[in-house]
Structure 1
Amino acid sequence: MKISLRQLQIFLAVAQSGSTTAAAALVALSQSAASAALNELEHSLGVQLFDRVGKRLVLNDSGRRLLPQARHMLDLAQTIERQFVDPHAGSELHIGASTTIGSYMLPAMVAAYRQTHAGARVRALVANTADIVAAVVNFEVDAALIEGPCHADDVDVEPWMTDELIVVAAPGHPIVGDGRKIGLKQLRQAEWLLREAGSGTREAVEHALIPYLHHLPSSFEFGNSEAIKRATAEGLGISCLSRAVVQDLIEAGKLLELATALPTLRRHFYMVVSRHRAASPSLAALLAFCRDWARLQQPG
């Protein structure tokens, strides 16, 4: 066989970093050795894999075709190592979660998982949905749980669980009024506190509300739901958030769930895995646990 795993590793490092110098640092080789390995790979395949743009190496059509296959090959090799090189060592899985899931659901879920899989180690990456999906595509995490639609190619997306969105305000906010149901006109005129662009919560809220309100005027944008609910409690505006996020402040009397003319608002959470990732037994076990855990959380 002319192609080696080391050559594919260097190819992926160059694709990630844009140069053989930076790639060499990633794989602990000299720059000359990294360049030689890349040249050998291109010679074996009979194609150039990168276009030279200034000082950068940019994937061309041939390189983009090889990229998912190279990732798949290296992932298979890593699976073999985990299974056979040190079969008694505990597995380590990298899971990604968008912000609401990562902050309000993942800790309890991982704790429950560790009770039945005592040797497992789980590392979590929490960010907005767009960044988490990118981490799946780039093999930075083994799988992910997201709270917004996924627009990436080369990933498998599975509905995971349903979440309820509710509209809340501080008890002293003018929109609360005399407690009567709040109409769509009042909601259209309100100042809304929203997540940043790229957030799954932002996309889900817009998808749920815009058909009824036609537009969603934002007075402030925040990078996480915790900041939004605290700002809402201070009376800066109203917000639409997951019930799981705001339940503590509702119980403390710092937020009120508003009775509105809107229908019940629900959204889906999704499980995302790369199509090019080989599912190890430990990853398959974690995904099965996530499915079972979600079923137990759903009402009814």
Structure 2
Amino acid sequence: MVIAGMSIPIQGVQFMRTHFKGIIAASISLVLAACGNVSHDVTKDGHSAGELVWPAPDSVTPMHKGGTFPSLVNLRQVRAALNKQQLSDLIGYPHFSEGVWGVHEWNYVFNFRKPGTDEVTVCEYKVLFDDAGLARSFYWKPESCAALLDEAKPVTPPAEVSTAVPRVLSADALFAFDKAELSLAGRTALDALAVELRGHGEKLRAVNIAGYTDRLGSDAYNHDLSLRRAHAVKAYLEEQGVPGERISAEGFGAGDPVKNCPDSARAQLIACLAPNRRVEVRIDSAK
């Protein structure tokens, strides 16, 4: 046989034909194998497929036999819009024969070792790509494997709730009626409290001051009066050396009354409502 001026023995021609047939057969086998490993009708945007196909874990390529132990740090960085090169940098190339370029999915077999034991969990992982080759959706088999990526969060002890009974100071003993300036008697009463608070030292965590009024007057007025009284107490304690950053002040107006009084003559009603005019001080200190 003569090809392009060269004479090739008949035996050589027969060898070439047999060789090419072998290559073609092998190529067809790889294509068919790949077709059996990939999902059907992956959408152009890569967000879903008509049917997800999971290849058998034992059909991985020889170099990936048994799957791999991925880096959890890298796996947690996998997200939508990564291209194939970026994805391969994080978790490697696919473990099956679906191909690399021009395909819409990659499949993996990952092994995860339970901390402190020899127990291994085997999971399959699938990534679907859009037409631009960007990762868009991710799947686990079984789905419970996704929880393996959750980072162990430190156990935060429950916040301590102060059970201390608040100190109740009569507003009438601290302020003149309908006023928010501390009286001389009020300052004297707070001096003893300041000495006690300073005595806690660094163990003092918080001092919460809540001001209350009676129901006489408008809601807006009472709220403002109760807030100004609470701030007056806070300011005085600061002057006496109690750390201001540990003191908070709030006003609650006529809220949460401790005594209900029927309507009567004004002087009698004011006297009856006196317990509601108060400042409550709650101290939170480490033991």
**Fold similarity call, TM over 0.5:** no
**Bigger-Rg structure (1/2):** 2
Q: Name the structure with the higher helix share.
A: 1
**TM superposition score category, shorter chain reference:** under 0.3
* TM-score, normalised relative to structure 1: 0.20
* TM-score, normalised relative to structure 2: 0.20
Higher RCO, 1 vs 2 (CA within 8 Å, ≥6 residues apart): 1
